[in-house]
Amino acid sequence: MLAEDNSIQDMLREKNIRLSHQRLMVLEYMSANHNHPTADQIFNGLKGTVPSLSKTTIYNTMDAFLEAGIIRPVNIEDNEVRYDIVTGEHGHFKCDSCGRIYDFDLDLDHLTSGQLAAFKIDSRDVYFRGTCKECLKSKS
Amino acid sequence: MLAEDNSIQDMLREKNIRLSHQRLMVLEYMSANHNHPTADQIFNGLKGTVPSLSKTTIYNTMDAFLEAGIIRPVNIEDNEVRYDIVTGEHGHFKCDSCGRIYDFDLDLDHLTSGQLAAFKIDSRDVYFRGTCKECLKSKS
DNA sequence: TACAAAATTGAATTCATTACAATTAATAAT
DNA sequence: ATTATTAATTGTAATGAATTCAATTTTGTA
């Protein structure tokens, strides 16, 4: 209900998503935390300020946002889904040492193969894994 | 125990993986079925010929093969892991209409961003989703 | 052939996600 | 404003892939 920031509410209305306190809070959380949170992380991050919050609501909300294209799933983990506010085309790097997920720029046009010329492509995901700069440094 | 094909056994010995009937059967199945099967599909495909087979053995076997680099995980689904016999660098396209997974060639060198120059990259996965040629044809 | 180490098995468990029905809240109509 | 309609929220229960673990069996080796 923070009247200060109408941009989030307008964004939802544009996408034909009905306003609710929970949805606004989730979007606010996503905007403040660009660290590709899981449903559980969003839930734990908000339950303090929204005591009635239910985990099911998080999943419902994510589904609504996914369908509207407001967020994007990050399936770089095999056991749980993460969510990303799309800010443009980019890849994800997961460090197997510290678990952190890094964004990196992409040039997908030079990647796309002619084999898929007749295919309708809706989403493109690029996931790299390995050890990040910081972890390599601390190991030596 | 089919003596006809020693190549699979040699492959395992090279990777320091102890031979077992189950492991040989799983590798034989993977070689015959290049359709990125799930653990469940492998289990159901083999339980007829290996009655004692356990689902846990499939998971254990896949873990051993993954560590040895004989197979590669395909995390294009959000709920279950698929497995691929590595034959070289390629991307995966999943058709949301028929569910089929297609391989396609990649040129990853032109994709890699300088941002990751100091990172140690162990695996690169490219997942596309959409509608395949066949499904587009039948829709029109 | 016998011993030691590793693999297999199945039952029980974990954990993310989904299903569902009752309650509550948000928008539209009066 | 008040009510009616419609959709969202909530909590509990269920699902299902994957893991844990201890007992049994198999494999490789001395």
Specify the pLDDT at position A2: 39
* Strands of the A90-95 sheet, one edge to the other: A101-105, A90-95, A120-131, B120-131, B90-95, B101-105
B21 or A1: which leads in pLDDT: B21
B130 interaction partners in chain A (CB closer than 8 Å): 119-123
pLDDT tier, B5 (very low <50, low <70, confident <90, very high otherwise): low
Specify the pLDDT at position B3: 42
- Per-residue pLDDT tens over the stretch B71-94: 999 999 989 999 999 888 999 999
Interchain CB distance below 8 Å, B126 and A111: yes
Other CB atoms within 10 Å distance of the CB of residue A31: 13
Shortest CA gap B138–chain A (Å): 13
- Per-residue pLDDT tens over the stretch B15-67: 999 999 999 999 999 999 999 999 999 999 999 999 999 999 999 999 999 99
Region A117-136 average pLDDT: 96
Give strand pairing partners of B95. Answer: B130
**Domains delineated in chain B:** 7-84 (1.10.10.10), 88-139 (3.30.1490.190)
| Contacts across the A-B interface (CB distance below 8 Å) | 119
- Per-residue pLDDT tens over the stretch B99-122: 999 999 998 888 877 899 999 999
Region A14-41 average pLDDT: 96
Report whether pLDDT(B98) > 80.
yes
